[in-house]
A and B are shown apart, each in its own frame.
Chain A
């Protein structure tokens, strides 16, 4: 599937001209431009297609592959006289929102933090157990572990939505997002506990373990009770530690 490969490669630039008027539309058109050129050989048809697609479009950058495959299939059917224009614009408008919500939930607020935590665990493991492993393995490993499932998912999304004979909703059902959303946070909590335990072992020699535990409890309380953002918490804790140190030990000159 040469045209699908082309769309896949071009989809990485989806947000390059992100703007507050049409959002991802330009990137979307950029990805589909070579295929459109093949479908509509007449220049006026191509002009109409571009005009139709110039309204706003926004979704999760990974999930956009679903919409791209679907729109490509519909446009091909339309060019042969199968679908109506209303159907195409309706699907593009209706799919964006729900897909964005799903993508934000799965990728941005679960998969990405999880892989960050895995990277941190890897770093701590190297520091604690095997110092002779080269450190560049952490960034390289992070990139591979994060991207392998994501790229597989993106390509499958494009292919399945293009080849689907039925509604895209049925394709979406196959992802089984409920299980992902339900169990990935549990996995995340496990990783956090592992980090805490490892950190306590590493800090043992310096006697900082209780500080870390106290800080974690303080953060949880401050987050859930006062809804403080992470950046404010960083500076708040900095102030508390510096003030406490100054009060108990003096300025230290």
Chain B
């Protein structure tokens, strides 16, 4: 280490707090880069594992081919593992309890490539031994050691309706039936006796024949004219696989007399090929994935470079005098330049490994936490966990190193230009220009002289000022973008599925509306994993009559949405929503338990029981052909509005009336608030009013349909509840005039998506804000420290401690205000873009997440205020004399 390096190190040690803050900032940036790389790699790995779990780890396959083709492939050098399955034949079940058994002679590679696992006993070692699937063991009662005889028949069609070779067999008659084309074959193979040696999980193995349960023996004694299935992996997975597939076609043509050109029989494991970059057709998916990753990386890099560049500039400002002195005793430009680069090297050496470890640790904790939601969202069978290869980690490290180098370059070149005169002149401030320091009269009037002085201080170093404002504005934009995304997705989920739906719920329909659902509620309440249970009910859209409104009765927003939908309908060749400017409005009724109703509507809303008295929800959630809208006060309806409806002879007939209006539909009303297509309104009434209505109907000998009851439960343990609900629903469906169904999985997918979005956006924004905070803290506090002497000077000419604190506070405030001036409009533009993108399917008038703005402002002023406060405390500890004598070296 030469003298320049020693001095640089000493300088870094002399400012431990700043060095540590910069180091944390660098480590956080690297951690974020690592998290993106590790997250992306883990996700790709998850998809690879999912492909292996569902299809197997083979790269290509050919089915229903000849032994010659199979053997040729087994000897092909380009292939690594070749799994062979010779189809011995089928044995229909004698008692007709299931279709039957299909026997395959297989080699060991098959078990591996298709994930067939022995769970009991051992895999067969000769052609007298048999491994059976667990399901087959369950259906037949066969166990390890059982002696079984299979009466095998080979049956397939080589052409026609069933091109995959599925045999025609009717379990109910026990007859092989001829295919319509007459090309099917049935050959007796004969009886073969086996000893069951093992029970297997089938993994990704499928014989493709519905109902025929596979069992396996060894390959050696397969009947001579068996049809074979071949699965293989490539020695090197590359585009060569397409040549192999072409060669297979040629082989089939030349080596398989029964080859049917109409039956393709060849396939590749597309997902695996896609993730290896071999499948070009699906590469757009990876391109999209990597593009998204690129955008996220770019944002992180902007934050990281801004932080690092600023840190080096600060460090340079602190060292200008020292460098000038070094120059005066003969330090060359290169030596001065190396001083900054050496600092970058040290920060990189410490920060990059730290960041890599932190990023991996963060993802190792986060990914398993969100695994359940990811599985739910993408219907994956395998869990998500951290799985990262060395290359992406190296990529993150290289990118971080590059960012550090880029950040250090300009300060390094500035350092090389420091002259001896800079050492004499002072602390290396940039030359000030009166114009750039001009402050408006308003500032002085509003904040006094100390305010004007604070603003001049902000503006004195344009680079530092811009860097702080940029970092802060970036934080504001990111916070707004993340809060907007979360807000609009939540809004869309609400439009599509109603509000606040518990993740697991059951629908219990009672065909007799008067039936008491309370015993069922008690039953549901006792389910393992269930939380609070609720009952709602109602009458469907369209079953309570309708009335017509003209366009003038609609709000401008509703008119616009309905017109757009009508135009779309016409394009699709459907009826428009309006007929000559007249829309049909249909109500849907929601019945709440009395307590729930009172809690929602307020105690002062009283309903009459002599008619169907309701509260009308003015916030309309509308749906039309997969497009959704949330419209406020779409319809002009006054209290007292009433309608009469009649479902027909001996069916419900009554009058409903609007007793009061409410803006929001009740929470936990689930998809009951989801209206049908077109213009619908939501009515809400209490159980008492509804029971009085039922009593009136019963007295008049009327009965209703399209009435439903929904039991909702919140989940204490969602996974357990989901399982117990499914069982409960399965047990009771169709009994006692009820039908049951368990929670909508679509909805929980959307909720999982919203949750994941919040976790990842939240995590990303928090980390980015921390990087920005480190940057701001460094800049603000060093800015204050560099001016310690000036501040002491101000104090010596009579600035009071209070005035001094006020000045520094105002300086922080001005940074915050300026950042908001830039950040809020840009953030708002991002929100508009997000809203527009979501509005394509989920229409709502533009609104913004107010909490997002509040959060952004709080973060900005919080970070600035804290940095200023910390610097102020340090400065206040120095006496004026100490500070005046401080010479920044």
A joins B in a complex:
no
* Chain B residues proximal to chain A, CB less than 8 Å: none
* Chain A residues proximal to chain B, CB less than 8 Å: none
